[in-house]
Amino acid sequence: MTSPVWHPFTQHGLNEPIPRVARAEGAVLHLADGGTLIDCISSWWVTTHGHCHPRIAAAIAQQAGRLDQLIFAGYTHEPAEAVARGLVDLAPAAPDRPPLAHVFFSDSGSTAVEVALKMALGYWYNRSLDGGPPPRSRIVVLEHSYHGDTIGTMAIGERGVYNAAWQPLLFDVGTIPFPAQGREHDCLTALEAACAMREPPAAFIVEPLVLGAGGMLIYPAWVLREMAAICARHDVLFIVDEVMTGWGRTGTLFACEQAGVVPDIMAVAKGITGGAIPLAATLATPAIFEAHRSTDRARLFYHSSSYTANPIACAAAAANLAIWQEEDVLGRIAALADGMARGLSQLSDHKAFANPRQLGAIGAIDLSASDAGYLSDLAPALRAFFLERGLLLRPLGNTIYLMPPYCLAPGQLDRIFVALAEAGDRFGISD
C-alpha cells in the first residue's frame, strides 16, 4: 500500500526505500522487518544521551498525566520555570559581559533563530522609539551557513537549489567569507568593514566553530572570539546559533565556551530535551529584554506558537538538564571523541579520503570523487550502501560525517569505521 506521507528532504520520484523503525534504544534503531541500524547521526543531530533514555522517558510519562498543555501567554508552569532557570545557570558567562538572563521558548531550531532575528530587530526599533539611534534592519551572516527552513532563516542561510523556489520571499543580507584555514583574517577584515558601514547592521549571526549543513566546516575558537570583539566594538548584536553545536557536540556544553564568548542572543534546540521531543529556546541579555519591556502593550514581543513551552517537552528538558548536572556527560563525550579521532586517523591513510576533521563528537571526512556537491549522485548511493551495512548515515554530497549519541559503544564505532573504509574502496577515486 502506498503511504500518504510526504517526507522531508526526500525525492519521492526516486523511489528509494524508506525503512520503518519500530523502536529504539541507546544508539540502535530496531526496524519493523527485524533488522537494526546504528544511528550514526543522532537522528538529525538531536539524540544526545541515546534513544528512549529512561530518565527522560519517565519524566515525559509523569508529566503527561499531570499537565499536558497550557497557553503560555500570561500563564506559566513549573517545568518551564525549572528549564529557564537551568538554562540561565548553564549558559556561557563572563565577568565583563552581560549575562544571558532571559529565556524565550519556541518549538524548533528554525523558530529559535527566527525569534533571535526578531529580538534583534525589535531591540533597535524600540530603542529608536525611546530617542535612541535610528532602527537597524540589516543582518550579516557567514558564508556557507545554515540556520533553518523558515523564511527568515532561509534568508540568512546559504542560497542554492534548496531554497531557489522561494528567492522572492528572502530578504538581502551581508555575507562575509568563511574563515578557511589560512584565510581567517580575510573573514575578520570583511566583518570589520561590514560593521563599520555608515548604516551599521543590526546583528551578525554565526554557527559557532562548526558549520553543519554547510559541510561540517570547522574554524578555530580564536576567530569566533575576534568576531564577537568586532561586533562589540561597533555596537552590533552578536547572535550565536547553538542549535546543532550545543549540548556537548563540540566537546563543551556550548561551543561558545571554547572561545570565552558570551553572545547577546543565543538559540538552542535539538539536544535540549536529549532529542526526545521538540523544544527550543532563545536566550537574551537584559538589554534585549528591557528594550521590549514597557507599559505600552504595543511594544510587547509579538511571537508565539500554540505549543510554546509545552509542559511535556519542558519536563523532558528538565530531565536532560539533570543528567548534565548529575552525570559525567563530558567524560562520555571525551571518550567517544578519542575513538572517533583514532578512526579518522586510520581513514586519513586511505587514498580515497581527504580532509579529515573533528571537533568533539563531530567528525567528518571527504570522499574523493568526480561527482561531489550537495546534489551528487554519490550521496544516495552512499546512503544505500550504509543502510545495507546496518548504519544510518546521511552524507552531505561527498562529505561523510558522524555525530552519534554519546552512548555509542566502542564496538559500534569500530563497525562504522570499517564500513567507511569499505565505502572508500568502492566509491572513492584514489589515483
Asked if the domains at 12-52+328-427 and 67-326 fall in one CATH topology, the answer is no
For the domain made up of 67-326, the CATH class stated in words is alpha beta
Can you give the pLDDT at residue 430? 54
Q: Which residues, 6+ apart, have CB-to-CB distance to 328 below 8 Å?
A: none
346-to-351, 354, 401, 413 alpha-carbon distances in Å: 11, 12, 15, 13
CATH architecture of 12-52+328-427: Alpha-Beta Complex (3.90)
Can you give the pLDDT at residue 161? 85
Q: Which residues, 6+ apart, have CB-to-CB distance to 64 below 8 Å?
A: 312
* 3 state SS of 357: strand
Q: How many other C-beta atoms can be found within 10 angstroms of the C-beta atom of residue 78?
A: 14
Can you give the pLDDT at residue 46? 98
Which of 120, 125, 126, 124 shows the shortest CA–CA distance to 104?
Answer: 120
Kindly list the domain boundaries of the chain, sorted by start residue: 12-52+328-427, 67-326
316-to-58, 254, 322 alpha-carbon distances in Å: 9, 19, 10
Give yes or no for a contact between 346 and 356, defined as CB atoms under 8 angstroms apart: no
Can you give the pLDDT at residue 181? 96
* 3 state SS of 337: helix
For residue 76, count CB atoms less than 10 angstroms from its CB and return exposed for 0-12, middle for 13-18, buried for 19 or more.
exposed
Phi, psi values for residue 346, rounded to 5°: -65, -40
232: which 3 cell numbers? 562589540
Buried b (16+ CB within 10 A) or exposed e, 281-310: bbbbbeebbebbeeeeeebebeeeeebbbb
Can you give the pLDDT at residue 429? 75
23: which 3 cell numbers? 523502536
For residue 184, count CB atoms less than 10 angstroms from its CB and return exposed for 0-12, middle for 13-18, buried for 19 or more.
middle
Q: What DSSP character marks residue 38?
A: E
Query: What is the pLDDT tens value at each position of the chain, 431 positions in all?
Result: 789 999 999 999 999 999 999 999 999 999 999 999 999 999 999 999 999 999 999 999 999 999 999 999 999 999 999 999 999 999 999 999 999 999 999 999 999 999 999 999 999 999 999 999 999 999 999 999 999 999 999 999 999 888 899 999 999 999 999 999 999 999 999 999 999 999 999 999 999 999 999 999 999 999 999 999 999 999 999 999 999 999 999 999 999 999 999 999 999 999 999 999 999 999 999 999 999 999 999 899 999 999 999 999 999 999 999 999 999 999 999 999 999 999 999 999 999 999 999 999 999 999 988 777 777 889 999 999 999 999 999 999 999 999 999 999 999 999 999 999 999 999 987 55
Can you give the pLDDT at residue 322? 98
